[in-house]
Amino acid sequence: MTAKPTALTALPHDLKPDLLPRHIAVIMDGNGRWAKQRGLPRIMGHRRGVDTLKKLLRCCRDWGIGALTAYAFSTENWGRPIGEVDFLMTLFERVLRKELKEMMEEDVRIQFVGDLSALPDTLQREIDRAVADTQVNQGIRFSVATNYGGRQEILQACRAIADQVQQGHLAPHEIDESLFSRYLYTSNISDPDLLIRTSGEMRISNFLLWQLAYSEFYITDTLWPDFDQAEFHQALIAYQQRHRRFGKIENS
Ligand code: FPP
């Protein structure tokens, strides 16, 4: 299939292409507050949040960022009012159906991280289709964390590794960081270089607990639906000014 890609937005001149994060993770917080500030139901914030995510994905693609991972629904989010949970499940399904054509045109490879077995069957089918269809694409790797929890991810990795040990396929001394990472949902992507969190909360909320060990954090008071290209640009400027030491000391 050859489709016409949308025109690319050039990388701003004050960003260095060789210092861009390869993988960005984002906690899209503040949808409910955004809606409340406008006297709207919370779901309107989620709806607007999808537009923000679409724009960010396109911008990452245009600017040459290889991977974007978005926290769409946590293992704790089931505790929200049933109406909001139902709305979100239906929203994910509708967005996937509606955006598949565009993801193909824009060369996006989508994947989901989390325990998908608890999601509604109709959503699981839409996920399977989107993942299968976009696997041929070569562009940005877009991961959607859905029914995702960092602790739950680590536990499922431990169980799988213990199983391998029990069956005699693996010796305990062979379990190192590299092996452990291969049992995580994110085994095919590098750890995030940059985590962006909107709405000013200073926590990681059970997101990518293992993978964020050495990521740089950019936290902004902006609510997710208002997070735009100008602010993303600012986040990247801030990232490029950081000195990443990975626990070591700076080279003189
Ligand atoms: C957090 O804001 C946001 C969510 C729990 C849902 C985010 C989901 C989307 C933006 C849709 C993404 C869609 C696809 C298909 C990937 P909040 O409700 O916690 O806001 P609050 O803290 O102001 O209450």
Entry pTM: 0.94
Q: Given this model, what pLDDT does residue 1 score?
A: 43
When the pLDDT of each residue in the chain is averaged and rounded to a whole number, the result is 95
pLDDT digits (tens, 9 = 90+) for 29-46: 999 999 999 999 999 999
Residue 141 contacts residue 66 (beta carbons within 8 Å):
yes
Q: How far is it, in rounded angstroms, from Cα 124 to Cα 143? A: 15
Q: Given this model, what pLDDT does residue 3 score?
A: 46
Q: Where do the DSSP E strands lie in 13-107?
A: 23-27, 67-74
- Residue range 55-81: average pLDDT? 97
- Computed on alpha carbons and rounded to an integer, the radius of gyration of the chain in Å comes to 19
pLDDT digits (tens, 9 = 90+) for 128-179: 999 999 999 999 999 999 999 999 999 999 999 999 999 999 999 999 999 9
Distance, CA 229 to ligand 1 centroid (Å)? Answer: 19
Is ligand 1 within 6 A of the CB of residue 48?
A: no
SS3 217: strand
- Whether 2 shows a pLDDT value over 60: the answer reads no
In the numeric block, which tokens belong to residue 209? 């607990």
pLDDT digits (tens, 9 = 90+) for 85-120: 999 999 999 999 999 999 999 999 999 999 999 999
Q: How far is it, in rounded angstroms, from Cα 27 to Cα 35? A: 17
In the numeric block, which tokens belong to residue 208? 């990518």
Start-to-end Cα distance in the chain: 51
Is 51 a residue of the active site?
no
DSSP 8-state assignment for residue 202: -
Q: Residue 176: CB partners within 8 Å, gap ≥ 6?
A: none
Confidence of residue 5 (pLDDT cuts 50, 70, 90): low
Domains and CATH numbers, the chain: 20-149+189-240 (3.40.1180.10)
Q: How many CA atoms lie within 13 A of 187 on its CB side?
A: 11
- Whether 182 shows a pLDDT value over 50: the answer reads yes
Q: Single out the catalytic residue among 14, 18, 29, 251.
A: 29
In this structure, the residue with its CA closest to atom 6 of ligand 1 is 72
Q: What crossing angle do the helices spanning 42-62 and 229-241 adopt, rounded to 10°?
A: 60
Confidence of residue 243 (pLDDT cuts 50, 70, 90): confident
Residue 67 contacts residue 190 (beta carbons within 8 Å):
yes
DSSP 8-state assignment for residue 236: H
Residue 143 contacts residue 70 (beta carbons within 8 Å):
yes
Q: How far is it, in rounded angstroms, from Cα 178 to Cα 53? A: 31
